[in-house]
Amino acid sequence: PKTFKIAVLPGDGIGPEVVEQALNILNVIADASPDLSLDISTHLFGGCAIDAVGKPLPEETLAACKSAHAVLMGKCTPIPALSDSYSHLGSVGGPKWGVGLVRPEQGLLALRKELGLYANIRPASFASDSLLSHSPLKESVAKGVDFIVVRELIGGLYFGERKELTSSTGGTGFAQEDAAYDTMIYSVGEVERITRVAAQISLACDPPLPIHSIDKANVLASSRLWRKIVTATIEREYPMLVPLLDHQLVDSAAMVMVSNPRKLNGVILTENMFGDILSDESSVIPGSLGLLPSASLAGAPSKTTTCSGLYEPIHGSAPDIAGQGIANPIGTILSAAMLLRYSLGLEKEAAAIESAVRKVLDSEETGGHGFRTKDLGGNVGTKEIGAKIAEVL
Amino acid sequence: PKTFKIAVLPGDGIGPEVVEQALNILNVIADASPDLSLDISTHLFGGCAIDAVGKPLPEETLAACKSAHAVLMGKCTPIPALSDSYSHLGSVGGPKWGVGLVRPEQGLLALRKELGLYANIRPASFASDSLLSHSPLKESVAKGVDFIVVRELIGGLYFGERKELTSSTGGTGFAQEDAAYDTMIYSVGEVERITRVAAQISLACDPPLPIHSIDKANVLASSRLWRKIVTATIEREYPMLVPLLDHQLVDSAAMVMVSNPRKLNGVILTENMFGDILSDESSVIPGSLGLLPSASLAGAPSKTTTCSGLYEPIHGSAPDIAGQGIANPIGTILSAAMLLRYSLGLEKEAAAIESAVRKVLDSEETGGHGFRTKDLGGNVGTKEIGAKIAEVL
Ligand SMILES: CC(C)[C@H](C(=O)O)[C@@H](O)C(=O)O
Ligand SMILES: CC(C)[C@H](C(=O)O)[C@@H](O)C(=O)O
C-alpha cells in the first residue's frame, strides 16, 4: 500500500480535542482503503512548545513537517477563536503567551516560510441552507454565498524588509521623526505562481469559477504589478479563463462582500495582507467559524498533481472553552478532507467526508435541527459529532 | 459679520447636482445668521479638470483650496458609487478617465497631501431606525451600530517610497525576480497627531466614546509603533480616556464589523490602508451609501478650536445616473454640516441640519415611508429633497 507521512501539530487550547476527531476520520478512510496507509506522528508547536522547549517551532517539529506529505494542525494562536468572547476580543496573542517576547505567531510565520506554503485556500460557504439563520447577513443577502479565498501567504508586508521603532534620542523617549516601516514587495514570479493556484482551483470546478483578483492598483505600485502579472499569466497560460477574470479594488471588495456578497462568488485572489483581512471578513458570512477549514499549499494542485500542505481550521485556540469537550471539530475534519484532496490526491475520499459532514449537520435526529455543537445552537459534544461523522462515513 | 472662504469643487458625474443642494442649505444657514457670511467660489477638479486643462488638480484650484477655510467637494472618482451597478463594479477609474495616464485619483491624493489633510473622519450610523431594513445585516445585528472611523490619510503605504515594476531584461518581458514595492511607514509624530484627533472626537461626546485602535501588531513593525504611540499619547495627554482605549487586530476587526458590529461602536482609529478598507466596509452597514458624509481635516478640532478641512460625501461620482436629478444629496448636505462644525465652529447650525435631515427621512408625507430618493426605495428627486430639508430648517 502507498504510505503517506502526516505530521500532526495539535497545538494549544482546543487544538488537541479537534485534531483527535479529525485523525479518527482519517483513520476510518485509511482502514477502508487497502492500498492506503498513513504514517502519523505528533509534534510540539505553538504555546505548548514555548512551555516545553522555549520556542514555538522546535527544530524537530520543523524537520518532521518538511519530510511529511502533509501537516495537520490544531491551533496555536488564539485569534480568531471559536467562542464568542474570544473571537471578539481580538487582542494580540493569548492570555498566556500573547504578550511575551516569544510569541506563537512567530512559529506560524516561520513554518509557512520554511515549508514554502505560498498559497492559503479558505473556502467560505454554507454547508447547508439550514445554517442561513446563523449568518449575520439577511438571509436574502447571504443565500448562495460561495467564496474560495486564495491568499498569497509568504510575500508582501509580512516578509518584506522592516524597521522597528528605536529611540534615536538614546533615552526612553522618542523623537517626532523616529519611524518604523514594513515593505509590501512582490516579484513577478511570486504573483505568477499564486495566479496558477487560483486558476487550478477555478478549473477544478465544472464550469470553471470566476476569478476576482483584488488589489489597490489606483494607489500602490505592488498592486499595479499584481494586476499586470495576474492578467498576463491568465492570458498566457489559461486563455479559457480570460472571460472569467476581473479586478476589484480592495476597499470596494470589502464593501461588496457585505452588501452584495454573491457578486464575489468564485475564487477571490489576493496578496497576503489584503487576504488576511478579506478572508476573515468572508469567514463570518456563513455564520459559523467552527465549520470552516483551510489549506496552505506549497504548489498548485490540479486533478492530476498533488503538493505538500498544512491544513488547519480557521478558528482560534479558544483557551476559554478548552478541555470542556464542546468545541466544534468540523473545521478540522473538513481540513483533513482538504488534506486528502490536495496533498494525497484522494478526491473521492475528500468528497465523502464533506458529504458526511453535511448529512450530520442536517440530520433529523435532534428534531430536524441537526446534530450540532454549542456554537451552532446545539448541545452535542466534540467527540459525539466526530463519532457521528465517522458512522455516516 | 465674520466671512468664511469656501472653495467648492463640484467634480464629475452627480457631483454638481448634489453640491448644488448642499450650497443651498449653507446659504439658508448664512441668511439666518446676521454675523455669518460665506464667500463661495467654484473650481475645476477631477475628470472635468483633465478635460479642460489636462490635469486633475489645476494650480488655480489648489491655490483657492489653500486659502479657503474649508473645501466642499462633489465627487471626482467613480468609486464607490451611489448607484447599484456602479458601487458593485469596483473597477479602477471611471468609464472615461479611469484608464488614462492622468487619473482623477492622483488629483485627490495630491490635494490631501498639499492641504495636510491627515485625518479622515467617516461616521457610519443609522440616521433613523426606519432605515434598518436597508442594511445587508440582520436588523438585530445592525441595530444601534454607530461608528466614527478616524483614518490617517497622508501617511503609510499611500505615500511611502515606492518602486514600480520595470523590465530588467530591457525587452517587454519581465524576469521572475523583477519586483515592485510600497512602504508602510509611520513616524511618531504622525501617529501622535491622528491619535489626538480620535481623542477629541471621543471627548466631543458625553460620555466620551470608546476608542478602538486597529493595527496588525502581531506582524508589522509599523503597527507596533502605532500601538505603542497611540497608547503613550492617550496615557500622557488624555488620561481620562485610558479606560476607553482598546487595540484590535485588523483581520479581527474586519470580521467583528460584520458579525457583531456594535462591539466596535465609538471611534475606530486606524492607519491609511486599513482605514480605506474598514471605512468602506463600515459604510455599507447602515444600508445607504448616499446618506454618509466625510471630513478630511488638517487638525484636531475640539469644542473650542476649528481647523481647515475638505468635506465630501462618501459615494462616488456615479456617472451612470448623472444628470437625471435622482441622486441622493443627503451625503453632501451632511458633509456641509460637518464643515460648519469642524471648520467654522458652528456646532448649533450643524446639529440643526442633521436634525432636519432626520425629520425629512422620517416624514409622514409619503405614507410614513419618508421623503426619499430612489436609492432608498423612494421616488423623490435630488432638488425636492434639498428643498424639503431647507424648508424644515
Ligand atoms: C496569527 C497571524 C500571524 C495570522 C496571519 O496574519 O497570517 C492569522 O491571522 C492568519 O490569518 O492565519
Ligand atoms: C480613490 C482612492 C485613491 C481613495 C483612497 O484610497 O483613499 C478612495 O478609495 C477613498 O477612500 O477616498
A334 and A303 assigned to the same domain? yes
Is residue B242 one of the residues assigned to a domain? yes
Same domain, A152 and A83: no
- Closest-CA distance, B355 to chain A, in angstroms, reads 27
pLDDT of residue A146: 97
Same domain, A3 and A63: yes
The CATH number of residue B380's host domain is 3.40.718.10
pTM for the full predicted model: 0.94
C-beta atoms of B220 and A157 within 8 A: yes
Say whether A188 and B179 touch across the interface (CB within 8 A): yes
Q: For the segment B171-229, what is each residue's pLDDT rounded down to a tens digit?
A: 668 999 999 999 999 999 999 999 999 999 999 999 999 999 999 998 999 999 999 99
* Whether B107 and B148 share a structural domain: no
Mean pLDDT over all residues of chain B?
A: 90
Pairwise CB contact (< 8 Å): B254 & A136? no
* Cα B129 to Cα B142: distance, rounded to the nearest angstrom: 10
Catalytic option among A12, A215, A280, A320: A280
Whether residue B122 lies inside any domain: the answer is no
Average pLDDT of the segment spanning A285-309 = 94
Kindly state whether residue A175 falls inside one of the protein's structural domains. no
Domain presence at residue A43? yes
Q: Which residue owns the Cα nearest ligand 2 atom 12?
A: B276
Q: Do B176 and A188 touch (CB under 8 A)?
A: yes
Average pLDDT over every residue of A11-29: 94
Confidence band of A288 (pLDDT split at 50, 70, 90): confident
Q: Distance, CA B276 to ligand 2 centroid (Å)?
A: 7
B176 within some domain: no
Cβ separation of B179 and A225 shorter than 8 Å?
A: yes
Res A170: pLDDT:
65
Q: Does A299 touch chain B (CB under 8 A)?
A: no
C-beta atoms surrounding B9 within 10 Å: 27
Residues of B in contact with A213 (CB under 8 A): none
CB-CB: which of A186, A258, A260 is closest to B258? Answer: A258
Residues B44 and B108 in one domain: yes
Query: What does the pLDDT average to over A86-92?
Result: 31
Q: Which is the closest atom of ligand 2 to the Cα of B276?
A: 11
Q: For B97-120, what is the mean pLDDT?
A: 81
Considering the domain boundaries, does residue B1 fall inside one? yes
- Answer with the one of A222, A253, A285 that is the final residue of a domain: A285
> Is A88's pLDDT higher than 70?
no
What is the extent of the structural domain holding B225? 136-161+184-285
Q: Is the dihedral of CA B378, B258, B144, A375 positive or negative?
A: positive
pLDDT at A79 over 70: no
The pLDDT score that the predictor gives to residue B87 is 36
Please indicate, yes or no, if residue A389 is contained in any of the structural domains.
yes
- Shared domain check, B27 and B66: yes
In chain A, the number of structural domains is: 2
Same domain flag for A245 and A299: no
Per-residue cell: B281: 466596509
CB of B235 less than 8 A from some CB of A: no
Q: Is B143 a member of any domain?
A: yes
Residues B111 and B157 in one domain: no
Q: Same domain for A117 and A140?
A: no
**pLDDT, tens digit, for every residue of B310-348?**
999 998 888 888 889 999 999 999 999 999 999 999 999
> Are B235 and B331 within one domain?
no
Q: How confident is the model at residue B94 (pLDDT cuts 50, 70, 90)?
A: very low
* A153 and A276 assigned to the same domain: yes
Q: Are residues B254 and B342 in the same domain?
A: no
Q: Which ligand sits closest to the CA of B296?
A: 2
Q: In a mutagenesis test of the A interface, which of B122, B140, B222 is the best target, namely the one with the most A β-carbons within 10 Å?
A: B222
Q: How does residue B84 score in pLDDT terms, banded at 50, 70 and 90?
A: very low
Asked if the bond preceding A261 is cis, omega within 30° of 0, the reply is: no
Mutate to test the interface with A, among B85, B280, B314, B315 (most CBs of A within 10 A): B280
pLDDT score recorded for residue A362: 86
What is the pLDDT at residue B16?
93
Q: Report the relative pairing of strands B179-187 and A179-187 from DSSP bridges.
A: antiparallel
**A-B C-beta contacts closer than 8 Å:** 246
Decide which of A253, A285, A317 is a domain's last residue. Answer: A285
Mean pLDDT of all residues in A358-364:
86
Query: What is the Cα Rg of chain A in Å?
Result: 21
Confidence at A168, pLDDT banded by 50, 70, 90: confident
Grid cell of B174 as nine digits: 519581465
B197 touches B150 (CB < 8 A): yes
Query: Of B265, B285, B305, which residue constitutes the final position of a domain?
Result: B285
